[in-house]
Chains A and B, each alone.
Chain A
């Protein structure tokens, strides 16, 4: 029997409505009472569904300015946000990370988990008028992405064959079952590019990279470097009547204060990711014309942690790492350093990602317990009350991370772990962490919707790779963990898979290869006139085909 899955728009609408109503309620309440700072959440009465209207231009921010819009070649955040309107993947995901149609209208997975068959929409055209067919998908996944996209390469190299069964059907045959495969088709993971333009060329040097040709609802009209990127409606878009918007303009505003001013003054109607500094968020939340949501980042689901080099004593002792975990107050970090953005984590998997299990060893702030563990290790305080000295190199990604480093120094100092802060620039940080030349650092990684795609890489011993960033730089190695991650990545029974991931979460939360600090959230601010935006797990990076502006 073949399981047949199709997208369920109702489920994503539900997610969307929930978040918008919540944010709208907070905004309305604040406006009605005219008390700045009111952020109380009350249940909002259902707002009548309005009918979309056509027309209008949405203004947003792109920060920093992307190097290119050719999403296949570059997947930095800003490229995704703009490129996601021009290019499309086969799938997108609702905010529970269930697959939904994008270029594929339906798909089937064989019971043995080895064959994935996608039916494509039939009347899709590239922006240059050529028809989009299964051949484009085969070219993109078997040739183009294999050469230029490391994350996609790791996924599609698991394919034994990728074939076009007919013009609108593509079949992926895997060497071994890999249930996370279905999570790997959103627009940044596998953007479909036109074979008729790229096949047989030097992909990176193709002149068409400057005039991106996609299938998406918006086309690039003009890009004035340093100023704005203007997208306009694709009149030939395959969905009748869509998109609603005439266009989207992304403004390049390098200065953080100017960005918040642009949103405040209504010059832009949307900000995303780190456009606004965390400390601006509480204030902006109270503005009556805006709604704020942290939904729409489920696919990236970033997790921040203290990355600890196990090659350095006493950091190799799990009691020491536990002492660190007991010494810090993660709620303080979330509330005071991230100004309330984020969730306190329990283990290695972000709670919005599949197979998250909260039933693990958790670490409430408890300095006494931390001291007891250090005593047990024989680390007694010296004359100055210092039991051990460690070096902490905060990630040089802005102030928030600097504050976090300062907090760590104080919190660990309280239990007798003296911290020497090291500062460095972004390049130096990457170099030192990748080459294991650090003791403790702060870091965050995206989880990409499935533990096999974004979590395992940090903990499995086969990913201890000197010189490569975002790998198992700690040098953590536990055969049991390796085995569980390997088994779970191939297990097609979701219940068994859950068991394996639950077990690995229990082991990791006890051994603490890293100390998890925060499930990071990003704020998306939308003007209340913007409707239907931010409905999926990739939020602002989605196509915006059904976004509309109220008059």
Chain B
């Protein structure tokens, strides 16, 4: 395994990744301290409706019911990050488990799992997510579940490929010969060695999950009790000619977060696959 300092050096070599990390940390801080920075409820009518940015009570303006956009963005960051992280975690759990089983066992098990995965891959992601959320009524739990259900197939394929190639390697053969159980081999021998690409794609998946959640909320399929960026843009769409700030600022928040996650993902890729990074110069 690589040393920690090597990892950081490789990561820091990618300037974009450092920038991404800074933005990401800023957003996390914003989310964590949302209630301190903006005490009240983001749904409260804090000021007069349609106040432009930089007015007295609303730094980034207010919406049609006089709700503070800045407060909405801060509290929305919580929802976006929460959904991004938990749904990715859930997708990882499903995807890596199935991929590992398929790759390790091969044969009929592999066939069965891969056909099942392909079934999901043939259905357009977003459409399936919309259908799932609509059927199970929108709430944070159903949204996380829907995003996880549509996002795990690529992870499963990735894990399977890693397991397929690793299981023929000597150290795995050695483990088999020494009589270790399948579970131990999967968890102790193969998984740690196949983590790098999985971590990289998981970091990108957080970004995709945030986008998916925003799209769902934009369509009115968000949790009606949670302020989120997608909801804010969806509500602002119809009044865009009167109040550009209502859609621009939450839009920027999404762009920055997704961009930051992608940059960090890239940096992780460089740091975890040093050969690749060096060959790129």
A contacts, CB < 8 Å to B: 256, 277, 279, 283, 336-337, 394, 399, 402-403, 405-407, 409-410, 413, 420-425, 428
- B200-240 contacts to A (CB < 8 Å): 220-221, 224-225, 235, 238-239
Q: A336-B64, A399-B238 are in contact. Are A423 and B44 (CB under 8 A)?
A: no
- Cα distance A163–B35 in the bound complex, in angstroms: 74
Q: Most B CB atoms within 10 A — which of A279, A394, A406, A420?
A: A406
Q: Are A423 and B43 touching (Cβ within 8 A)?
A: no
Q: For the complex, is B248 an interface residue (Cβ under 8 Å from A)?
A: no
Q: Which of B43, B45, B65, B238 contacts A279 (CB 8 A)?
A: B238
Q: Which of B65, B224, B238 contacts A423 (CB 8 A)?
A: B224
Q: Which of A422, A423, A428 has the most CB of B within 10 A?
A: A423
A sample of 8 inter-chain contacts (CB < 8 A) reads: A279-B64, A336-B65, A336-B66, A409-B43, A410-B44, A410-B45, A420-B225, A423-B220
CB distance from A124 to the nearest CB of B (A): 46
Is A405 touching B224 in the complex (CB atoms < 8 A)? Answer: yes
B239 adjacent to A423 (CB under 8 Å): no
Q: A407, B224: Cβ atoms under 8 Å?
A: no
Question: Known contacts A336-B65, A423-B138, A424-B137: does B238 contact A277 (CB below 8 Å)?
Answer: yes
- A interface, over-half SS: helix
Instruction: Please report the C-alpha to C-alpha distance between residue A260 and residue B43 in the assembled complex, in whole angstroms.
Output: 30
User: What distance in Å separates the Cβ of B38 from its nearest Cβ neighbour in chain A?
Assistant: 15
CA distance A337 to B49 in the complex (A): 10
Asked if B172 is at the interface (CB within 8 A of a chain A CB), the reply is no
| B118 interfacial by beta-carbon distance below 8 Å | no
Give a binary string over B38-62; 1 marks a CB under 8 Å from any A CB, 0 the rest: 0001011100010000000000000
A336-B65, A399-B235, A403-B64 given. 14 additional CB < 8 A pairs?
A277-B238, A336-B66, A337-B65, A402-B220, A403-B235, A406-B43, A406-B224, A407-B65, A409-B43, A410-B45, A421-B225, A422-B137, A422-B224, A423-B220
User: Which residues of chain B come closer than 8 Å to A425, judged between CB atoms?
Assistant: 134
Query: Complex: how many Å from CA A403 to CA B49?
Result: 13
Chain A neighbourhood of B41, CB < 8 A: 410, 413
With A and B bound together, what is the CA distance between A406 and B138 in angstroms? 15
Residue interface bits B64-78, CB-to-A below 8 A is 1, else 0: 111000000000000
Question: A327: shortest Cβ distance to chain B, in Å?
Answer: 14
On chain B, the residues within 8 Å of A277 by CB distance are: 238
The answer, among A403, A413, A421, A424, for a CB contact under 8 Å with B65, is A403
Q: Would you call B182 an interface residue if the criterion is a C-beta within 8 Å of the partner chain's C-beta atoms?
A: no
Q: For window 119-154 of chain B, which residues contact chain A by CB distance below 8 Å?
A: 134, 137-138
CA distance A395 to B228 in the complex (A): 21
Q: Does B242 interact with chain A (Cβ within 8 Å)?
A: yes
Q: Is B241 an interface residue (CB 8 A)?
A: yes
B4 to chain A, nearest CB (A): 44
What B residues does A399 contact at CB under 8 A?
235, 238
**B243 CB, min distance to chain A CBs, angstroms:** 10
Chain B residues within 8 Å of A336, by CB: 49, 64-66
In the complex, chain A residues whose CB is within 8 Å of the CB of B239: 279
B241 partner, pick from A256, A283, A394, beta carbons under 8 A? A283
Known: A279-B242, A399-B235. A421 touches B224 (CB 8 A): yes
Q: In the bound complex, how far is the Cα of B224 from the Cα of A421, in angstroms?
A: 6
- Across-interface contacts of A405 in B (CB, < 8 A): 224
